[in-house]
Amino acid sequence: MTLITMPYGLFGKIKRRQLMTTEAATASPFTGSQQIQDWGGEWWEYDMDFALHQGRQGKKMSAFFAQMGRGRNTFLMADWSIDQVVAGTPVVSGAGQSGNTLVTSGWPVSSTVLQYGDFFQIGTAEQTRLHQLTADAVSNGSGIATLSFVPALRSSPANAAPLVVNAPQVHLRLTSGVPADIRSGGIYSFTMTAREAI
């Protein structure tokens, strides 16, 4: 398996970005009451269209998807729909953290540093993980803020591990091969489905 970065400047339409969860519901046939089983698995899935790439751009996109195969390789993608611009140089503050909260430092003091719905990345290369905030994060007078987010941490990050808050990336694997649809005039289009590589 090889990790590849998606070529810069090749943008498409994100039709679906969804956090998938391993939950199941069973309902009583007598009362209709439900019981929910949650096994804790969580990952991002993307459906995307790349249309009207012409000439050299189309060939570059075609080569990128050929490299990916049907999940043989994985890739890093900066989700261009995440257009936040955030100040600070945040890092993890304290080792051994787990779950859906993370104590961080390195933020501007006494301010809302990230907002509900914002994203951040932790880890690099194959360990890249994308998370989305489920509450505003407000720093104290020392620039420390606790982030609440989904999905939960898969492993405990090291103390002082950096967070990427501007142009965060997600680590993906195609769920099937991506054929090139080539129209007259050398106009390429592609439809891609991918899931987080975990």
Is residue 159 predicted with pLDDT exceeding 80? Answer: yes
How confident is the model over 66-103, as pLDDT tens digits? 999 988 999 999 988 898 999 999 999 999 999 999 99
For range 176-198, the mean pLDDT: 92
Is residue 8 predicted with pLDDT exceeding 70? Answer: no
**3-class DSSP string for the chain:** CCEEECCCCCCCEEEEEEEEEEEEEEECCCCCCEEEEEEEEEEEEEEEEEEEEEHHHHHHHHHHHHHHCCCCCEEEEECCCCCCCCCCCCEECCCCCCCCEEEEECCCCCCEEECCCCEEEECCHHHCEEEEECCCEECCCCCCEEEEEECCCCCCCCCCCEEECCCCEEEEEECCCCCCEEECCCEEEEEEEEEECC
Question: Are 138 and 103 within 8 A, CB to CB?
Answer: no
Q: Which of 11-20, 35-44, 76-85, 121-130 has the highest average model confidence (pLDDT)? A: 121-130
Q: Does residue 91 or residue 5 have the better pLDDT? A: 91
List the CATH code of the domain at 83-166.
2.40.30.290
What percentage of the chain exceeds 90 in pLDDT?
70
The full set of domain ranges for the chain reads 1-80+171-198, 83-166
Mean pLDDT rounded to a whole number for the chain: 92
Question: Are 69 and 166 within 8 A, CB to CB?
Answer: no
How confident is the model over 22-54, as pLDDT tens digits? 888 888 888 888 888 888 789 999 999 988 778
Rounded Cα gap, residues 182 and 180, in angstroms: 6
For range 138-162, the mean pLDDT: 97
Identity of the amino acid at 114: L
Strand partners, 193: 47
Fold of 1-80+171-198: Phosphorylase Kinase; domain 1 (3.30.200)
